[in-house]
Structure 1
């Protein structure tokens, strides 16, 4: 669940249906994005950023989380 995304929507007293209409996407897609079942494209992410006046890194932290697996890198280099 993308907590900040949901919190921003609730703070503005918007329903998922209203967000979908504002962003011109489906309500089902909004629901799946909020639950983390789908990732937005860059254009859709920018729409959310503009609507909530919040950077994408805060709305979608899971998409910007960089994890470097040094153990696997070392084994591939050997």
Structure 2
């Protein structure tokens, strides 16, 4: 699942993935993987993104903080 908010915020600021990576002290490849949803960031990295973009973690990483109210029962 692409993390559209991260991509949108980066593009609004006219930043490349390399510039974001340098600002956060992580690799450009890692930024790319996080934006594409191919990799989940650790707590410290999520906080870096939160401070950099000034957005809540739930908005930046909705797939990680998704609440699932699955009430379906499986009968065996």
- TM-score, normalised to structure 1, is 0.88
List structure 1 runs of 4+ shifted beyond 2 angstroms. 68-72
Larger radius of gyration between Structure 1 and Structure 2: 1
Q: C-alpha separation between the residues in 1 aligned to 2:9 and 2:63?
A: 17
**Aligned match of 1:5:** 6
* Unmatched 5+ stretches in structure 1: none
Deviation at 1:66, TM superposition (A): 1.3
Q: State the match for 1:40 in structure 2.
A: 41
Structure 1 or 2: larger helix share?
1
Aligned residues: 75
State the SS of the aligned residue for 2:63.
Answer: helix
